[in-house]
């Protein structure tokens, strides 16, 4: 399964450079730049890039931990569906 990244069009980057870069810096996640409906480049803050280059495993671990925390919050708010078995995924 591939992670879902935030994305902006290249035009958004041209017109709102500061907003897009600030979003990358604040979220510490990769942002995909789209040109003509196709991914063209990836933008990320320096801290995230350095972590990725130095140790890709720690970045994957941090991302997985973030997903688990989001799932826990969703469950606590009653937004998550409790599955009794694998067949419940189709519903």
Q: Residue count of the chain, please give it.
A: 91
Q: What is the mean pLDDT of residues 85-89?
A: 74
Q: Which CATH number fits domain 6-79: 1.20.1050.140, 3.40.50.620, 3.40.1620.10, 1.10.730.10?
A: 3.40.1620.10
pLDDT at 38 over 70: yes
Give 89's DSSP letter. G
**Domain edges within the chain:** 6-79
Q: Give the global pTM.
A: 0.58
Contact criterion met (CB below 8 Å) for 29 and 5: yes
Reported as a pLDDT band with limits 50, 70 and 90, residue 1 is: very low
Please check the confidence at residue 56 and state whether its pLDDT lies above 70.
no
Q: How far apart are CA 40 and CA 53, in angstroms?
A: 20
31 burial class (0-12, 13-18, 19+ CB within 10 angstroms)?
Answer: buried
Backbone angles phi, psi at 64, to 5 degrees: -65, -40
């Amino acid at each position: 399964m591939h992670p879902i990244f935030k994305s902006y069009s290249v035009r958004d980057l041209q017109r709102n450079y500061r907003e897009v870069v600030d979003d990358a810096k604040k979220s510490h996640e990769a942002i995909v730049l789209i040109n003509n409906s196709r991914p063209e480049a990836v933008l990320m803050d320096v801290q995230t890039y350095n972590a990725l280059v130095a140790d890709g495993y720690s970045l994957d671990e941090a991302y997985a931990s973030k997903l688990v925390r989001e799932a826990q919050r969703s469950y606590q708010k009653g937004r998550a569906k409790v599955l009794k078995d694998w067949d419940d995924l189709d519903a």
